[in-house]
Amino acid sequence: MTILTVTTQPIEGQKPGTSGLRKKTRVFMTTHFVENFVHAILTAIGGAAEKTFVLGGDGRYFSPQVAQVILRMCAAAGAAKVIVGRDALLSTPAASHLIRLNKTDGGFIMSASHNPGGIEEDFGLKFNMPNGGPAPESVTDAIFEATTTISEYRILEAHDVDLSTIGESSLGDMKVEVVDPVTDYANLMETLFDFPKLRAMFAAGFRMRFDAMCAITGPYATEILERRLGAPTGTVVNGTPLPDFGGMHPDPNPTWAKDLMDVMFAPDGPDFGAASDGDGDRNMVVGKATYVSPSDSLAVLAANAHLAPGYRGGIAGVARSMPTSAAADRVAEALGVEAYETPTGWKFFGNLLDAGKVTLCGEESFGTGSNHVREKDGLWAVLLWLNVLAERGQTVAEILTEHWARFGRNYYSRHDYEALPIDQANAIVENLRARLPDLPGTVVEGLTVATADDFAYTDPVDGSVSEHQGLRVTFTEGSRFVIRLSGTGTEGATLRLYLERYVHGPDGLGDVVQQALSPIIKAADSLAGIKAATGRQGPDVVT
């Protein structure tokens, strides 16, 4: 085997976002694109000599080829070992767990998360740190810097490694260990939740539907729900991961998981439903005829986490991304623990988790997790909900009703305007940003602006500062809206409008969320001018 030194040059557009680098698959397939980016990662982390890594992903199109490139480049860089999920498959939370379990030096995750897959769709690659969490900005900045100065990379000339068989082999001087992608993760879940009680609940006739959306969580859900917990065969649907996710958009929300919503709102619907995304780190939870918003899900889980064996001692604190509703803050206050508000991006939770300041974290974008790993974890959230249902012996609707009666309700929604021209989306944000200092005291649609700012975050652990994290406008009665540009798309720009209205206890507004938020929706459009600027009559996705 020979180590080749290949001449290359910088390729534009290799700046990682909050979750690594995401582009159209065909972009990743262009000459040197993958190799340049992998070289940049290895450079940014100080090289690979004598290090051990984890490698896997959600199985989307082009993953097998990228896995082989990463292996050959790690071998050329002197890595000691790479632990790979069989067939290069690993959910993002399972990869995080393997990094932590094996005390490796980090891991490569091939995924574009909830984005569609296929040769004409999206691909992504990110590096997770030794704590199992996404690389912080200091590292992603270093990766980008390395992509701008690259002139050559090194790669081992070798045949592809067999990743279909569990066991250990060699690639040059580097060991490659292929492991079952599910077992270690499933074993971890058994330590956190009351599996005997959940088995008894299913044996008593509890009905559930889990839509894996032809993505990576299918094998995990099948092993845990159907095999270990005894849920009937067929509880997991769309459970086989496919390179193009079966043509599905693997984003677990009411728009893209409409089949699940239809089943759950049918007269004979199951007791509980859930869906997960492309790489397994997001979740949508639905009760019988009852949709649970991600913000409410985080708050309910924070209030009830002590019912699960892994959290019997209570939680140290809770963290949420700034655009996520403040529902969890009210729970934290009642529990006497700290609540933290961070920018969007799971990496911002890492320091809080490592420092023991929080136990649960969540984002409005269907991500929830805890200190068991350093990524959000879709199936974990589903299992915690099941544990709560088993302990309380109530329906999802009953639990929500009691929660709102105790803590009040944060009516909440997110409106996404997708694939906007980048200049147009930037103009909307910049025009509103320029007006923020003059907005307090302004009356719009009958609401008076109390505060308006551009969110900045100072990390309470390391003191790092992150600015320009979203525009916030809060009204005197406590309602608010937030506007920010998403960093998870691969073409154009996605403008996200977050809307929130808090009411004390039962209010007569019922479950007509968009109607309850109507004044804030009108005020947001009046101030930001989204419809006028885009020419669109409404958002593409409402969650």
Active-site positions read 113
294-304 helix and 327-335 helix, angle to the nearest 10 degrees:
10
Residue tagged 């551009």 (tokens)? 454
What does R_g of the chain's alpha carbons equal in angstroms? 23
The rounded Cα 182 to chain-centroid distance in angstroms is 19
Task: For residue 241, give every residue at least 6 positions away whose Cβ sits within 8 Å of its Cβ, in sequence order, or none.
Answer: 58, 59, 89, 212, 214, 215, 216, 218, 219
Asked if residue 499 lies in contact with residue 416, where contact means CB atoms within 8 angstroms, the answer is no
24: nearest Cα among 494, 489, 487, 541 = 489
Degrees (nearest 5) of the Cα angle 168, 172, 173? 75
Q: Which two tokens stand for residue 203?
A: 């044996």
Nearest-angstrom CA–CA distance, 100 and 297: 26
In angstroms, the CA 393 to CA 388 distance is 8
What three-state secondary structure class fits 443?
strand
Partners of 367 in the beta sheet? 282, 363
Residue 493's φ and ψ, nearest 5 degrees, are: -135, 145
Residues 6+ apart with CB under 8 A from 381: 283, 285, 297, 301, 368, 369
